[in-house]
Protein backbone atom coordinates (compact mmCIF):
# COMPACT_ATOMS: atom_id res chain seq x y z
CA UNK A 1 0.00 0.00 0.00
CA UNK A 2 2.82 2.41 0.88
CA UNK A 3 4.30 1.85 -2.58
CA UNK A 4 1.08 2.94 -4.27
CA UNK A 5 0.70 5.99 -2.02
CA UNK A 6 4.27 7.05 -2.85
CA UNK A 7 3.41 6.51 -6.50
CA UNK A 8 0.44 8.84 -6.04
CA UNK A 9 2.77 11.48 -4.60
CA UNK A 10 4.92 11.10 -7.71
CA UNK A 11 1.77 11.59 -9.76
CA UNK A 12 0.95 14.78 -7.88
CA UNK A 13 4.47 16.11 -8.50
CA UNK A 14 4.18 15.32 -12.20
CA UNK A 15 0.70 16.84 -12.24
CA UNK A 16 2.02 20.06 -10.69
CA UNK A 17 4.68 20.33 -13.41
CA UNK A 18 2.16 19.58 -16.16
CA UNK A 19 -0.21 22.19 -14.75
CA UNK A 20 2.50 24.89 -14.85
CA UNK A 21 3.32 23.97 -18.44
CA UNK A 22 -0.22 23.37 -19.75
CA UNK A 23 -1.63 26.49 -18.07
CA UNK A 24 0.11 28.73 -20.60
CA UNK A 25 -1.30 26.71 -23.49
CA UNK A 26 -4.78 26.93 -22.00
CA UNK A 27 -4.59 30.67 -21.31
CA UNK A 28 -3.29 31.52 -24.78
CA UNK A 29 -5.85 29.29 -26.48
CA UNK A 30 -8.70 30.58 -24.33
CA UNK A 31 -7.88 34.24 -24.82
CA UNK A 32 -6.25 34.47 -28.24
CA UNK A 33 -7.52 31.32 -29.96
CA UNK A 34 -3.89 30.48 -30.77
CA UNK A 35 -2.49 26.94 -30.52
CA UNK A 36 1.13 27.65 -29.63
CA UNK A 37 3.20 24.68 -30.86
CA UNK A 38 6.40 26.42 -29.68
CA UNK A 39 5.33 25.90 -26.06
CA UNK A 40 7.52 22.80 -25.68
CA UNK A 41 10.55 24.69 -27.00
CA UNK A 42 9.98 27.41 -24.41
CA UNK A 43 9.91 24.69 -21.75
CA UNK A 44 13.23 23.38 -23.12
CA UNK A 45 14.74 26.87 -22.81
CA UNK A 46 13.95 26.73 -19.09
CA UNK A 47 15.44 23.25 -18.77
CA UNK A 48 18.72 24.37 -20.36
CA UNK A 49 18.83 27.48 -18.19
CA UNK A 50 18.83 25.01 -15.30
CA UNK A 51 21.63 23.04 -16.99
CA UNK A 52 23.71 26.21 -17.34
CA UNK A 53 23.21 27.49 -13.80
CA UNK A 54 22.29 24.67 -11.43
CA UNK A 55 23.27 21.39 -13.10
CA UNK A 56 25.33 20.41 -10.06
CA UNK A 57 22.82 21.60 -7.50
CA UNK A 58 23.99 24.84 -5.95
CA UNK A 59 22.28 26.98 -3.37
CA UNK A 60 18.72 28.18 -3.10
CA UNK A 61 19.57 31.67 -4.37
CA UNK A 62 21.19 30.26 -7.51
CA UNK A 63 18.12 28.12 -8.15
CA UNK A 64 15.81 31.10 -7.66
CA UNK A 65 18.00 33.10 -10.06
CA UNK A 66 17.62 30.30 -12.62
CA UNK A 67 13.84 30.39 -12.21
CA UNK A 68 13.73 34.16 -12.67
CA UNK A 69 16.07 34.09 -15.67
CA UNK A 70 14.02 31.33 -17.31
CA UNK A 71 10.79 33.21 -16.63
CA UNK A 72 12.26 36.32 -18.28
CA UNK A 73 13.53 34.39 -21.29
CA UNK A 74 10.18 32.66 -21.66
CA UNK A 75 8.32 35.96 -21.40
CA UNK A 76 10.48 37.47 -24.15
CA UNK A 77 9.82 34.48 -26.41
CA UNK A 78 6.12 34.70 -25.59
CA UNK A 79 6.04 38.38 -26.51
CA UNK A 80 7.66 37.61 -29.86
CA UNK A 81 5.25 34.74 -30.49
CA UNK A 82 2.27 36.94 -29.60
CA UNK A 83 3.34 39.50 -32.19
CA UNK A 84 3.88 36.85 -34.84
CA UNK A 85 0.51 35.26 -34.07
CA UNK A 86 -1.34 38.55 -34.50
CA UNK A 87 0.33 38.99 -37.89
CA UNK A 88 -0.94 35.56 -39.01
CA UNK A 89 -4.61 35.29 -37.97
CA UNK A 90 -5.34 31.96 -39.69
CA UNK A 91 -5.06 28.90 -37.44
CA UNK A 92 -3.04 26.84 -39.92
CA UNK A 93 -0.56 29.67 -40.42
CA UNK A 94 -0.21 30.11 -36.66
CA UNK A 95 0.39 26.40 -36.16
CA UNK A 96 3.05 26.29 -38.87
CA UNK A 97 4.67 29.48 -37.63
CA UNK A 98 4.93 28.38 -34.00
CA UNK A 99 6.10 24.94 -35.12
CA UNK A 100 8.85 26.61 -37.16
CA UNK A 101 9.91 28.72 -34.17
CA UNK A 102 9.95 25.55 -32.07
CA UNK A 103 12.29 23.79 -34.50
CA UNK A 104 14.64 26.78 -34.67
CA UNK A 105 14.85 27.14 -30.89
CA UNK A 106 15.34 23.41 -30.35
CA UNK A 107 18.11 23.27 -32.95
CA UNK A 108 19.84 26.31 -31.46
CA UNK A 109 19.76 24.69 -27.99
CA UNK A 110 21.10 21.44 -29.44
CA UNK A 111 24.01 23.31 -31.05
CA UNK A 112 24.77 25.16 -27.81
CA UNK A 113 24.48 22.26 -25.35
CA UNK A 114 25.04 19.20 -27.54
CA UNK A 115 22.91 16.11 -28.02
CA UNK A 116 23.70 14.53 -24.67
CA UNK A 117 21.16 13.95 -21.92
CA UNK A 118 21.91 16.36 -19.06
CA UNK A 119 21.02 15.42 -15.52
CA UNK A 120 20.32 18.20 -13.03
CA UNK A 121 20.76 17.94 -9.28
CA UNK A 122 18.15 19.43 -6.96
CA UNK A 123 19.30 22.52 -5.04
CA UNK A 124 21.25 21.69 -1.89
CA UNK A 125 18.61 22.78 0.67
CA UNK A 126 16.01 20.35 -0.75
CA UNK A 127 18.28 17.69 -2.24
CA UNK A 128 17.66 15.19 0.53
CA UNK A 129 14.71 13.03 1.45
CA UNK A 130 12.08 12.84 4.15
CA UNK A 131 10.32 9.81 5.58
CA UNK A 132 6.84 9.37 4.11
CA UNK A 133 4.80 6.28 4.98
CA UNK A 134 7.93 4.52 6.14
CA UNK A 135 9.81 5.24 2.93
CA UNK A 136 12.34 7.90 2.04
CA UNK A 137 10.77 10.38 -0.37
CA UNK A 138 12.61 13.20 -2.24
CA UNK A 139 11.99 16.52 -0.51
CA UNK A 140 12.30 18.32 -3.84
CA UNK A 141 9.20 16.59 -5.22
CA UNK A 142 7.21 17.78 -2.21
CA UNK A 143 8.44 21.29 -3.03
CA UNK A 144 7.15 20.89 -6.59
CA UNK A 145 3.74 19.75 -5.28
CA UNK A 146 3.64 22.81 -3.02
CA UNK A 147 4.49 25.03 -5.97
CA UNK A 148 1.60 23.55 -7.95
CA UNK A 149 -0.84 24.26 -5.10
CA UNK A 150 0.37 27.86 -4.76
CA UNK A 151 0.17 28.34 -8.53
CA UNK A 152 -3.42 27.07 -8.66
CA UNK A 153 -4.49 29.34 -5.78
CA UNK A 154 -2.60 32.31 -7.24
CA UNK A 155 -4.17 31.94 -10.68
CA UNK A 156 -7.64 31.58 -9.16
CA UNK A 157 -7.20 34.79 -7.14
CA UNK A 158 -5.70 36.63 -10.12
CA UNK A 159 -8.39 35.65 -12.61
CA UNK A 160 -11.46 35.72 -10.35
CA UNK A 161 -10.65 38.22 -7.59
CA UNK A 162 -8.40 40.91 -9.04
CA UNK A 163 -9.00 43.96 -11.22
CA UNK A 164 -6.47 42.62 -13.72
CA UNK A 165 -8.40 39.36 -13.89
CA UNK A 166 -11.62 41.25 -14.57
CA UNK A 167 -9.88 43.14 -17.37
CA UNK A 168 -8.59 39.89 -18.87
CA UNK A 169 -12.02 38.24 -18.76
CA UNK A 170 -13.66 41.32 -20.22
CA UNK A 171 -11.11 41.40 -23.03
CA UNK A 172 -11.84 37.79 -23.89
CA UNK A 173 -15.62 38.30 -23.75
CA UNK A 174 -15.80 41.51 -25.83
CA UNK A 175 -12.48 42.81 -27.09
CA UNK A 176 -14.09 45.58 -29.13
CA UNK A 177 -16.02 47.02 -26.18
CA UNK A 178 -12.97 47.00 -23.90
CA UNK A 179 -10.89 48.64 -26.62
CA UNK A 180 -13.56 51.34 -27.04
CA UNK A 181 -13.13 52.15 -23.32
CA UNK A 182 -9.51 53.09 -24.00
CA UNK A 183 -7.82 49.85 -22.89
CA UNK A 184 -4.96 48.59 -25.03
CA UNK A 185 -6.27 45.05 -25.50
CA UNK A 186 -3.29 44.07 -27.62
CA UNK A 187 -1.03 44.77 -24.65
CA UNK A 188 -3.29 42.74 -22.35
CA UNK A 189 -3.25 39.74 -24.67
CA UNK A 190 0.50 39.99 -25.21
CA UNK A 191 0.98 40.07 -21.44
CA UNK A 192 -1.01 36.88 -21.03
CA UNK A 193 0.95 35.20 -23.85
CA UNK A 194 4.22 36.25 -22.21
CA UNK A 195 3.05 35.05 -18.78
CA UNK A 196 2.02 31.67 -20.21
CA UNK A 197 5.37 31.22 -21.94
CA UNK A 198 7.19 32.33 -18.79
CA UNK A 199 5.37 29.65 -16.81
CA UNK A 200 6.43 27.02 -19.35
CA UNK A 201 10.08 28.07 -18.94
CA UNK A 202 9.75 28.00 -15.15
CA UNK A 203 8.31 24.51 -15.52
CA UNK A 204 11.46 23.56 -17.43
CA UNK A 205 13.67 24.66 -14.52
CA UNK A 206 11.50 22.94 -11.90
CA UNK A 207 11.32 19.74 -13.94
CA UNK A 208 15.09 19.69 -14.47
CA UNK A 209 15.96 17.67 -11.33
CA UNK A 210 13.21 15.17 -12.23
CA UNK A 211 13.33 14.85 -16.02
CA UNK A 212 16.72 16.37 -16.89
CA UNK A 213 17.26 18.11 -20.22
CA UNK A 214 17.77 16.55 -23.63
CA UNK A 215 16.94 17.15 -27.30
CA UNK A 216 13.45 15.90 -28.11
CA UNK A 217 12.11 16.57 -24.63
CA UNK A 218 10.30 19.62 -25.98
CA UNK A 219 8.15 17.40 -28.23
CA UNK A 220 7.32 14.96 -25.43
CA UNK A 221 6.40 17.74 -23.02
CA UNK A 222 4.32 19.57 -25.64
CA UNK A 223 2.42 16.34 -26.35
CA UNK A 224 1.69 15.80 -22.64
CA UNK A 225 0.62 19.43 -22.24
CA UNK A 226 -1.74 19.11 -25.21
CA UNK A 227 -3.22 15.95 -23.69
CA UNK A 228 -3.78 17.82 -20.40
CA UNK A 229 -5.48 20.73 -22.16
CA UNK A 230 -7.69 18.42 -24.24
CA UNK A 231 -8.64 16.26 -21.24
CA UNK A 232 -9.34 19.28 -19.04
CA UNK A 233 -11.21 21.25 -21.69
CA UNK A 234 -9.87 23.76 -24.19
CA UNK A 235 -9.32 27.22 -22.74
CA UNK A 236 -10.18 26.28 -19.15
CA UNK A 237 -7.77 26.95 -16.29
CA UNK A 238 -9.68 24.70 -13.90
CA UNK A 239 -9.76 22.05 -16.60
CA UNK A 240 -5.98 22.32 -17.02
CA UNK A 241 -5.55 21.73 -13.28
CA UNK A 242 -7.87 18.73 -13.20
CA UNK A 243 -6.39 17.32 -16.41
CA UNK A 244 -2.83 17.72 -15.11
CA UNK A 245 -3.64 15.89 -11.87
CA UNK A 246 -5.41 13.09 -13.76
CA UNK A 247 -2.67 12.59 -16.36
CA UNK A 248 0.03 12.82 -13.70
CA UNK A 249 -1.66 10.05 -11.70
CA UNK A 250 -2.18 7.87 -14.78
CA UNK A 251 1.47 8.21 -15.71
CA UNK A 252 2.75 7.50 -12.19
CA UNK A 253 0.49 4.52 -11.56
CA UNK A 254 1.10 3.22 -15.08
CA UNK A 255 4.86 3.40 -14.51
CA UNK A 256 4.44 1.46 -11.24
CA UNK A 257 2.00 -1.20 -12.43
CA UNK A 258 2.55 -1.50 -16.19
CA UNK A 259 5.75 0.39 -17.06
CA UNK A 260 5.88 -0.91 -20.64
CA UNK A 261 2.37 0.43 -21.31
CA UNK A 262 2.54 3.69 -19.34
CA UNK A 263 2.51 5.91 -22.44
CA UNK A 264 -0.42 4.03 -23.94
CA UNK A 265 -2.41 4.38 -20.70
CA UNK A 266 -2.17 8.18 -20.93
CA UNK A 267 -3.74 8.22 -24.37
CA UNK A 268 -6.22 5.57 -23.27
CA UNK A 269 -7.30 7.86 -20.44
CA UNK A 270 -7.63 10.74 -22.89
CA UNK A 271 -9.74 8.64 -25.23
CA UNK A 272 -12.00 7.52 -22.38
CA UNK A 273 -12.52 11.11 -21.19
CA UNK A 274 -13.33 12.34 -24.68
CA UNK A 275 -15.72 9.41 -25.18
CA UNK A 276 -17.66 10.37 -22.04
CA UNK A 277 -17.19 14.15 -22.24
CA UNK A 278 -16.21 15.25 -25.77
CA UNK A 279 -15.54 18.85 -24.65
CA UNK A 280 -13.26 17.76 -21.80
CA UNK A 281 -13.80 17.51 -18.06
CA UNK A 282 -14.24 21.24 -17.36
CA UNK A 283 -14.49 23.13 -20.65
CA UNK A 284 -14.46 26.93 -20.68
CA UNK A 285 -17.88 28.56 -21.05
CA UNK A 286 -17.24 31.80 -22.91
CA UNK A 287 -14.16 33.26 -21.25
CA UNK A 288 -11.09 32.35 -19.31
CA UNK A 289 -12.06 31.43 -15.76
CA UNK A 290 -10.20 29.76 -12.92
Element (H, E) at 224: helix 217-232
The pTM (predicted TM-score) of the whole model is: 0.91
Backbone angles phi, psi at 186, to 5 degrees: -60, -40
Output the pLDDT for position 287.
Answer: 47
Output the pLDDT for position 92.
Answer: 85
Write out the chain's pLDDT in tens, 290 residues: 677 788 889 999 999 999 999 988 888 887 777 888 999 999 999 999 999 998 887 788 999 999 999 999 999 999 999 988 888 878 888 889 999 999 999 999 999 999 999 999 898 888 888 888 778 899 999 999 999 999 999 998 998 888 888 888 788 777 788 888 888 888 888 998 999 999 999 999 999 999 999 999 999 999 999 999 999 987 788 889 999 999 999 999 888 888 888 888 999 999 999 999 998 898 876 545 55
Residue 150 CB: number of other CB atoms within 10 A? Answer: 11
Residues 29 and 19: their CA atoms lie apart, in Å, by 15
Residue 46 CB: number of other CB atoms within 10 A? Answer: 31
Q: Where are the alpha helices (DSSP H) in 35-59?
A: 39-54
Q: Where are the alpha helices (DSSP H) in 121-184?
A: 139-161, 163-173, 175-180
Element (H, E) at 86: helix 60-87
Residues 259 and 251: their CA atoms lie apart, in Å, by 9
Output the pLDDT for position 47.
Answer: 95
Domains, the chain, in order of start with CATH, read: 1-276 (1.10.3470)
Torsion of CA 157, 158, 161, 163, to 10 degrees: 160
Amino acid sequence: MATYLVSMLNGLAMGALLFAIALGLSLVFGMMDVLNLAHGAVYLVGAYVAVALVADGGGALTFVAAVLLAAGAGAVLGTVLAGLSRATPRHLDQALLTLGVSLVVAEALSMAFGDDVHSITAPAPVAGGVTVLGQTYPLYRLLVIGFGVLLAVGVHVLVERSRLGSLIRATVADRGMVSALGVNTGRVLTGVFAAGAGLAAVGGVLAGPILGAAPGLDEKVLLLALVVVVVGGLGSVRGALLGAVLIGQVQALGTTLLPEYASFLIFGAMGLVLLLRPAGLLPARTAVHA
